[in-house]
Structure 1
Amino acid sequence: MGPKSEWIWFDGRLVPFDEARVHVHCHTLHYGLGVFEGIRSYECSGGSSGVFRLDDHVERLIDSANIMEMRIPYTAAEIEEAAIETLKANKLSHGYIRPIAFIDAGVMGVYPGNNPVRLVISTWPWGAYLGEGALEKGIRIKTSSFTRHHVNVMMTKAKVCGNYANSILAKRDAIADGYDEALMLDAQGYVSEATGENIFIVRNKKLKTPPLGSILAGITRESIIALARDLGYEVQEQQFTRDELYIADEAFFTGTAAE
């Protein structure tokens, strides 16, 4: 059984989990043109809840939709309010929030015409993305034979549902070979990112991470860069080859889901 909660925010109203349904002719189901976000909520002192950079995640959701020429029929403030409402309805203080905007049924074919854009927000408890043991013991990764999207192949700044077919193939291959995660290279052979996380390496007390381009502009990545610089560390956003992974002092992934 996958993630489940009592209530789903479905296009403006809370509906029971089992009633949150879409039509089999939903355009996004057939062609993959949808955008989504992954957001974490943490329990704070006193039992209250704190959502990690909710406004920035919602801004990226709207940016992703606009890049893909989808017009979400809600403002950023309305989406933020809906996310909080859904958390409260499900009595979750520590959990995961998944807003997804999709193109509903209507015209069938690659061009979606004026099919309506819907927004759904779900929440559920979600532990460590790569497993609780990974946080303490680390993980084993494989360099994937699947290349990350070139900037002329897809809109890499947008968090698009269909983009993740690339990640699924790489992840499935890594798991089948006994690894925990896959590291993907870009079309030029430089280190890009993992299937759902950005990557950093540390060498001689300097942090290095691939520049924006083929990678998703991770919000946790941005936070790590800012925090490291505030603490006096040099952070280099530049291309590097996988050779450097073998001589790095440390390497780690970042992502709101992966933490």
Structure 2
Amino acid sequence: MTTRARPAIAAMAYHQGAFVPFAEAGLPLTTQALQYGTGVFEGIRAHTCADGGKLVLFRVRDHYERFLRSCRLLRIETGHTVDELVEITCELLRRNGTTADTYLRPLGYKLALLPGTRPGVGLSGVSDALSITGFPMGAYTPPGGIRCTVSSWVRPRSAAIPIHAKVTGGYVNNALAADEARAAGYDDAILLDDRGRVCEASTANVFAARSGRLLTPPATADLLPGITRDTVLALAADLGIETAEHELDVSDLRCADEVFLTGTGIGITPVNEVSGHPIGAGEPGPIARSLAHHYARTIRGGGDVRHHHWLTSVRIDQG
């Protein structure tokens, strides 16, 4: 089982309209998002550039476009455009002054009841807030692959919780599944829907390869269609790998030549075992290895020039 190190938080944060020392960024116990899960978030990566001297944010505009869509769903007004959020994020990186790989967490949330609003669950009559934090983080899954189990927890239907948005309250389902998996000695959980179809892992999308063909559950299923998932589909097309969105069940995973997960946090992570059943040869396969190699180059600016529009450079002054 993989042991995850506790991340070190960077010195500065963006909190409710200002850059402040992280230790000074606090919230009252009455924060509505804490009480009711009425917040949305993103996970964004900045990587050391292939030619050194700067960081490159990967697909930061795509992340913030999704972030603002999620905000609109919960009636959260950040007061910022995508361009402004990108610039705030770049400035936060500059103020923290590190060129190490960094994970960034924007959080939009409901803060406090406005005067005249009755206490209780709701989205209207509640003030909004925005915070962005970051911490150094490199790869945190082993390159040799992980072991997953099929969770007993079922993925909620999108008619019950807005699965296609990164809503904080909805992630209790992911947390329960991940905790169950780790308690049983596995690294992660794969969640199914109420029909027994594969949805996603606790914080990642699922891919299966068989006979050289790459399959992943459709974006219309009860899953978050990730930005890394979209990146992998594009890279697979570059490499001439046939891909298709297709419903998968547990037997499709067990019969696959390869299974791997994709996400902003974990990148491309091979799955060597599902619920005690070895996948393929029980080690990372050629498709996962090839995609992981090209992904690692792409996120640092060393990949195909056709994908350089995914990168936003941030010059870091370490003097």
Query: Does TM, normalized by the shorter one, top 0.5?
Result: yes
- The aligned length equals 255
The structure 2 residue matched to 1:23, chosen from 23, 28, 31, is 28
What pairs up with 1:89-238 in 2 under 5 angstroms?
Answer: 89-93=95-99, 94-106=101-113, 107=117, 108-130=119-141, 134-135=142-143, 137-212=144-219, 213-238=221-246
Rounded Cα–Cα distance in structure 1 between residues aligned with 2:265 and 2:41: 13
What pairs up with 1:46-85 in 2 under 5 angstroms?
Answer: 46-85=52-91
- Amino acid paired to 1:125: P
Q: Which has the higher contact order (CA 8 A, sep 6+)?
A: 2
Shift of 1:20: 0.3
Query: Which entry has the higher C-alpha Rg, 1 or 2?
Result: 2
Q: Which residue of 2 aligns with 1:250?
A: 258
Shift of 1:74: 1.1
Q: Deviations over 1:182-217 (max 9, x none)?
A: 010012110110000001011011000001121102
Rounded Cα–Cα distance in structure 2 between residues aligned with 1:225 and 1:29: 36
Aligned-pair Cα RMSD in Å: 1.2
Residues 73 and 117, structure 1, Cα contact 8 Å, conserved in 2: no
Shift of 1:156: 1.2
- Amino acid paired to 2:53: G
Shift of 1:114: 2.2
Unmatched tracts of structure 1, length 5 or more: none
With normalisation by structure 2, the TM-score equals 0.78
For residue 104 of structure 1, give the secondary structure of its aligned residue in structure 2.
Answer: strand
Rounded Cα–Cα distance in structure 1 between residues aligned with 2:224 and 2:140: 18
Rounded Cα–Cα distance in structure 1 between residues aligned with 2:70 and 2:77: 10
Shift of 1:12: 2.0
Q: Deviations over 1:144-174 (max 9, x none)?
A: 0001121111111111101110000001011
With normalisation by structure 1, the TM-score equals 0.95
Shift of 1:51: 0.4
Relative to total residues, which structure has the larger strand share, 1 or 2? 2
Rounded Cα–Cα distance in structure 2 between residues aligned with 1:167 and 1:71: 26
Q: What stretches of structure 1 move > 6 A for 4+ residues in a row?
A: none
Shift of 1:68: 2.3
For residue 146 of structure 1, give the secondary structure of its aligned residue in structure 2.
Answer: strand
Unmatched tracts of structure 2, length 5 or more: 1-5, 268-319
Calculate percent identity across the aligned residue pairs: 38
Q: Deviations over 1:88-131 (max 9, x none)?
A: 1111332111100011022531014322111111111012233x
